[in-house]
Each structure stands twice: as structure tokens, then as C-alpha cells.
Structure 1
Amino acid sequence: MLPTGRSSSVAWATKTRREIRETGTADGSVVVVPVGSIEQHGHHLPVATDTLLADAVAHHGAERAGGDVPLLVTPPVWTGFSPHHTSLGGTLTLELEDLLAILEQVADNALENDFDGVCFVNGHGGNASIIDNAVSTVGKSSPR
């Protein structure tokens, strides 16, 4: 599940439900959501480059801050908004509204697990405005 050599100390996917809830109920808890894309990156890089980089940055940063802040990193949202890359091959893209809905739902679910905040780590320029919109709407319908 995690790349070889990666610590699972902050990985949501390696935790039990009790461990997730314990982290979430701690004061100042944050869930980190890496957001990437699957698209061409020339002839020399894998199509998951944006996802791999966002995930690596999220985990590295979380592991460095983990002693000071209760946090967990979700598995990455691996597909983003990349319709401008489809003609080049290898692209898997979502519609703008679908990606926004996924980000909102992931964030709202994290808040339902008692986390105090959500941090999106973006690995793809085409996702920026959608993530900005999600940040504006997350938690609006939540009773928190």
C-alpha cells in the first residue's frame, strides 16, 4: 500500500478506526489530502507524476510536523482535472464538478471523524481553482 521505505506513522490507510478517531479528537487535528492527476509528462516521466509528488510532499511534511500536530494523510485523490491533456494519451480526468464533489466529500468525511481542519496538497496546476472552491465550501453543511 505504501511505497517501500515509507513510514506509516501518519498514513490514514494504515490506521484502525480507533486510531483515526483518536487522532481526530485531539486538539488542532488536521487531515492532509494529497491531490494529483494522471496525465502525460513527456516521454520520460510516468503519468502519475503529479499524484506521486503530491503524496510524497504530503507524507514528508506530515512526518516532520507529526510530533507537534495531530495529523494523518489520506490516500491521494489520484485523478484530477486534466481535459487539456487527453489528446496526448494516458490521461484519466474527471469533470470539474466531479472532482469538486470528491474533494468536498473527502474533507467532510474527515471532519465527521472529528478532525479540526483539512489541508489539501495540490500536485497539479489544473486542480488549483477547484481546490480553492472546495476550501470555500467544505464544512458549510456540517454541524461543527
Structure 2
Amino acid sequence: MARLLEELTSQEVDAFNREETIVLLPVGATEQHGKHLPVGTDTMILKSVLERVLKDIDPEIPLLITPVIPVGKSNEHLNFIGTISFSYATLRGVIEDICKSIARHGFKKIAIFNSHGGNTDTLTSLCRDLRDQLNVQVFVIDWWFTNFWEDILKEIQESPRDGVFHACELETSIIMYTFPHLVKREQIVASFPPEPLRSNKYVTIFGPVTMGWRTEDISANGVIGDPTKATSEKGRLLVEFAARKIIEIIQEIQSL
């Protein structure tokens, strides 16, 4: 059975099989997304995909979804008003404490589901420490800086490679589909990083050489990408794709 933890009583949670249940811990962010998207974009997209997962997943799969953490490590955006950020230590501590609570009650599989690129490195490092400390299996499902979206973007992406990064074709399309009334369409503009970071062989916003950057280093308006290519239909396809892929990932975790 796939359920939201917050909707269950303690007794109902107790009925879940501790050895087989996958506890999914969603982590989002609250940060500026240009002038056209709400600051809750990452968290709202995460919740929309999870709603679709709950609708489509086999009800026999033992999945327990914790409340979404709506704040992440977003210090790169802090010079834009509306952004709320945990420090590295705080984000790590929050995730660690939640996972300790989950493990204390005997659950053996925890999947951290991340929707913000600024959280990625922290969560990837932490999952190995949690495996060692708690003696449970810990996974990180991350759709930034991985090939998560690769297949669907091959079909629908109209912008160049760096057209999908932040407040971009992808994110804007999903919010157009899920919360169309929150998109300020008259404010949509494309904004790309400085040319060297687009054309360099090694030092780019995608790597392979990484760099510490603040948003204003690479964008004057907070947008990194091309939201002018966004459509509601692309948003529908992206949400459906993400939900299918999350379900496939959950099934693989279940088999381990």
C-alpha cells in the first residue's frame, strides 16, 4: 500500500512491513525562480509528481511518503528576495534526524527524493554516512545533474543544452500545467550564462569542472535557461514521465 505518512495514525503506520516498506523522503526548496515563477516551484513540482505517483503506482507496493521538506540549501540564490535557505549543516542535520526517526521504528529502506540541484551534493554524501550509522539502505533519487530527464527531453526540448537549468523550459512547463494561474507569462524571458560557461570544454555550469557560483554570477534576472519554449502540454508530458520513472525506481529498490 502506498500512503502519505501525515494522513495515517500511528497504528496504521505500525501495520506497514518494516523490512519491505520503502520510506520516501521528499526534499524541495524555496527560492527565486525569476520574475515569472513562484518561489515554491521546486517543492510544488515535487508534490505534483508525487500526486501522480500515488495515483498510478500498484497499491500493493509498500510505499510510505513522509511530509515534504520545503526548504533546501539555496544559498546561491540568497541575493534574490523570497529565497529561504538552510546551511549545509542544517540541511544535513534535518535529513539525518528524520532518517534516524525512521530507522528507530525499524524501517530498512529510505529513499530521499530531491528536486533541487543545490541539495544534490549534500544528499549524495549524506546517504553513505546514513548507511554506515543507521544500518539501513539509503538511496537518493535526484533529477538534477543526472540523466533523469534525458529521454523525454530528447523528444520535447526546443531550447539549447543550457535552456534547461533553472526557471527554464522544463520547470516553467510543469508549473504551466500544474499551477497555470501562478505563471506570470508577460514576465517570461530567456537568460543564459556568460558565453565562456556555455562554450568551454571543461568549465561550464554542467561541468565536468565544477565551480562555486552565485546566481548573479551567471544571470542578472535569476533565470538560467529558456522558459520562452515552455508549454502546458510539455508540462503534462514531463509530469507523466517523471511519475513513471519514479515508480520504476521504487520497484527496483523494492527488489533489493
Select the residue among 51, 75, 82 that pairs with 2:67. 75
The answer to whether the 8 Å contact 2:24/2:66 transfers is yes
- Which residue identity does 2:4 align to in structure 1? A
Q: 1:129 aligns with which of 117, 121, 126?
A: 121
Equivalent position of 2:8 in the other structure:
15
2:57 to 65, 80, 85: 65
Partner residue, 2:94: 102
Classify 1:59/1:111 alpha carbon distance in 2 versus 1 (closer, same or farther; 3 Å): farther
Structure 1 residue 50 displacement after superposition? 0.6
Q: Residues 119 and 59 (structure 1 numbering): CA distance in 2 closer, same or farther, change over 3 Å? A: farther
What do you get for the CA RMSD once the two structures are aligned? 1.9
Measured in 2, the distance between the counterparts of 1:141 and 1:44 equals: 43
> Match of 1:108, as an amino acid?
K
1-structure distance, mates of 2:106, 2:62? 12
Percent identity of paired positions between Structure 1 and Structure 2: 27
Q: Highest Rg: 1 or 2?
A: 2
The residue that corresponds to 2:237 in the other structure is none
Q: Answer yes or no: is 1:86 the counterpart of 2:78.
A: yes
Contact 2:19–2:109, Cα closer than 8 Å, also in 1: no
Matched, 1:142 2:142: no
TM superposition shift of 1:143: 6.2
Report the CA distance shift for 1:66/1:14 in structure 2 as closer, same or farther (over 3 A).
farther
Give the whole-Å Cα distance in 2 for the aligned partners of 1:66 and 1:13: 20
Query: Who is 1:4 aligned against?
Result: none
User: Which residue number corresponds to residue 53 of structure 1?
Assistant: 45
With structure 1 as the length reference, what TM-score do the two structures score?
A: 0.83
Using the TM superposition, name which of 53-62 and 120-129 deviates more: 53-62
Which residue of 2 is the match for residue 41 of structure 1? 33
Q: Which amino acid aligns with 1:11?
A: L
State the 1:59 CA deviation: 3.9
Kindly indicate whether the alpha-carbon contact (under 8 Å) linking 2:73 and 2:88 is maintained by their aligned counterparts in 1: yes
Q: Secondary structure of the equivalent of 2:132?
A: coil
In structure 1, the residue matched to 2:22 is 30
Which structure has more relative contact order (CA 8 Å, sep 6+)? It is: 1
Provide, for residues 87-123 of structure 1, a one-character-per-residue CA deviation record: whole Å limited to 9, x for no partner. 1110110100110111111122112222221111111
* Count of residues in Structure 1 that have an aligned counterpart in Structure 2: 135
Q: Aligned pair in 2 of structure 1 residues 51, 115: CA closer, same or farther (>3 Å)?
A: same
Structure 1 portions without partners, runs of 5+ = 1-8
